[in-house]
Amino acid sequence: MKPILKPLTIFILTIIILTSCHFPGQPWVLVEIISHEEGQSVVQYEEVRIVTEARSSQGIDKVELYINGELEHIDEPPMGFPLEFTADQPWIPVAEGQVIVSVIAIDRRGTASEPFSITLQVTATPDEIDLEPTPTPTVSPEDLALTQTAQASCTNSATFVEHVTIPMNATVSANSNFTKIWRVNNNGTCDWAGYQVVHTSGNIMGANSPIALPVVNAGANADIVVDMVAPETPGSHSAIWRIQAADGTRFGPELLISIEVPELPTDTPEPTPTLTVTPTLTPSPTATRTPTPTRPPVSVQQVSEQITIPPNNTDSRTVNCPSGSVVVSGGFSHQIGVRVWHSMKNGNGWRVFGTNNHTSARTLTITATCLFNSGGTTDQAFTQQNAKPNDFTQLSTTCPAGSTVTGGGWVIGDNTNIQVYQSSRSGNGWQIYVNNPTSNTPAINVYAVCLSGAPGSTSQEVSSENMIPPNETDDVEKLCPSGTFVTGGGFMMDRELNLYNSSVFQNGWFNSVRNPTGEEKRLDTFAICYSP
């Protein structure tokens, strides 16, 4: 048996070694969720951190997080294209029941991994969580690599449905931000996982390319969203975009964008006065005034939408800023009985979650503060930590260098005992103060909205030491100085006060509170004012 056993052993070892390797010239991308297991429970309205490990032979470009097929978050390595990258991506579950969490890794060449998916169970309270979820077998990187050809036999195809925004040949002001949305139908047999939309010709108009698409099942419609900036040059501008599969194949209709940038108004030269001279004088030549172009003036608009929340329910809404503007902050107002615990930037809009603890239906109004003609864009910085038990927690975040804070927000979780009693600017960032009278330590987040690529700066104005009479409802406003524009605002109040409005009012910020106590309580109002 020895002459037979030795070659057999060598053969088995050789197979093990070869199957554990990726051969040169065969690009591979692997991804796996390591923070949660199949069937694990998470708590409704409490932030969940989905931690993913991604590896690639070509270097990781980004990791995409999908919730029930909708793109939720994109995380990129801080520098370069590492061969291994760990992504830590936030998500807040809003509905009870099962939810499918998927991640896709994409390498520097645009090659996407197969989706790695798990099913989580969203429960209303921590008491319902199964502390020992049933473990599932760990999928090896080699097994993941074998799934790369799972959809090899399907067909990619798409048809155009409609222009959701920006119709053909629409007029868009020079240098203004706008969002183009095409609606298409996936009429092929492939599910679009790890697919992108890419610019193929024409004026890219300040957009990024490629842009990741959400997972789109075969037969479903998809909205393809691209943020753009209108060119400075007047006239017609157009471009063509295409859908690109994970293997780099482009298919489907040519997605057209065509806009007209109008001529900027010019100054009308004043008539040259007629000089009366004597015959012996030589008239001086009249200087010619050169008209100078003007750009549309900066302005701020508040957009709002109202929803009705049934008794003992939670609901949310995102209010988006109009095309040609960027969101710089947001706010809310509601009837007594509603508790707002989530108020933050979402895309180019503002999202608010509210819980109705009343016995009858209550209304919640969500507002987005939108800045026009700044020429800039906004992003969001944030910091997270756990609230201190039976104590106060101060949390702050700072905008990146080269950007300017315009407003801020927070998420404190659906816990009726946790209260934000200060939300205001801190340096070039935002801060919140939270009171937690319980022994729990929920995660809390603070957000700063940061304006980049626009001239000017912001300052904070305050109306301080306003006393609210006992057992009364009152409000305090703070207007921005002449020549500036309100972009956001905040508050600082005694903990006993109930805040039910915080939003733009005229060219300033407006807070309304109810004082349910028998003593005077203090309310300060902050306005963030932008000087172009």
For residue 159, what are its two tokens? 């048809």
Before 210, cis peptide (omega within 30)? yes
Residue 35 predicted with pLDDT over 80: yes
Nearest to 213 by CA among 228, 200, 194: 194
To which H or E segment does residue 15 belong? Answer: helix 2-19
Name, of 128-142, 162-176, 490-504, the range with top average pLDDT. 490-504
In this structure, are residues 423 and 490 in contact, taking their beta carbons and an 8 Å threshold? yes
CA geometry: angle 174, 175, 180, nearest 5 deg? 90
Which pLDDT does position 285 carry in this prediction?
56
For residue 154, what are its two tokens? 């399907």
CATH number at residue 336: 2.60.120.690
Q: Are residues 328 and 249 in the same domain?
A: no
Q: Write the burial class of residue 195 (CB in 10 Å: 0-12 exposed, 13-18 middle, 19+ buried).
A: buried
370 against 108, higher pLDDT: 370
End-to-end CA distance of the chain: 87
CA geometry: angle 55, 60, 63, nearest 5 deg? 90
Q: Are residues 428 and 463 in the same domain?
A: yes
Residue 20 lies in a domain: no
Residue 25 predicted with pLDDT over 50: no
- pLDDT, tens digit, 9 for 90 and up, residues 429-457: 999 999 999 888 888 999 999 999 999 99
> How would you label 178-190 residue by residue, b for 16+ Cβ within 10 Å and e otherwise?
bbbebebbbebeb
Q: Which residue has the tokens 């309304």?
A: 512
Residue 466 lies in a domain: yes
- pLDDT, tens digit, 9 for 90 and up, residues 164-215: 888 888 888 888 788 898 999 999 999 988 898 999 888 899 888 888 887 8
Q: Which residue has the tokens 């090896």?
A: 140
Which pLDDT does position 294 carry in this prediction?
59
pLDDT band at 18 (very low <50, low <70, confident <90, very high): very low
CA geometry: angle 6, 7, 11, nearest 5 deg? 120
Helix (H, G, I), strand (E, B) or coil at 302: strand
In this structure, are residues 372 and 176 in contact, taking their beta carbons and an 8 Å threshold? yes
In this structure, are residues 218 and 193 in contact, taking their beta carbons and an 8 Å threshold? no
Q: Are residues 378 and 253 in the same domain?
A: no
> 193: domain range?
159-261
Q: Which residue has the tokens 């040259």?
A: 272
Residue 157 predicted with pLDDT over 60: yes
Residue 141 lies in a domain: no
pLDDT band at 320 (very low <50, low <70, confident <90, very high): very high
Residue 329 predicted with pLDDT over 90: yes
Percentage of the chain modeled with pLDDT above 90? 43
Q: What is the pTM of this model?
A: 0.50
What DSSP state is assigned to residue 126?
G
CATH number at residue 221: 2.60.40.10
Residue 271 lies in a domain: no
The mean predicted confidence, pLDDT, of the chain is: 83
Which pLDDT does position 380 carry in this prediction?
93
pLDDT band at 414 (very low <50, low <70, confident <90, very high): low
Pick the range with the lowest mean pLDDT from 18-32, 70-84, 147-161, 357-371.
18-32
Q: Are residues 347 and 441 in the same domain?
A: yes
Which pLDDT does position 344 carry in this prediction?
93
Task: Measure the CA–CA gap between 310 and 359, rounded to whole angstroms.
Answer: 8
Pick the range with the lowest mean pLDDT from 36-45, 404-413, 419-428.
36-45
- What average pLDDT does this structure show over 204-230? 88
Report the C-alpha dihedral over residues 36, 38, 40, 43, rounded to 10 degrees. Answer: 70
Residue 59 lies in a domain: yes
Q: Are residues 217 and 309 in the same domain?
A: no
Residue 21 predicted with pLDDT over 50: no
Helix (H, G, I), strand (E, B) or coil at 402: coil
Domain count across the chain: 3
Residue 68 lies in a domain: yes
Q: Are residues 378 and 494 in the same domain?
A: yes
Task: Measure the CA–CA gap between 156 and 9, rounded to whole angstroms.
Answer: 45
Task: Measure the CA–CA gap between 183 and 185, rounded to whole angstroms.
Answer: 7
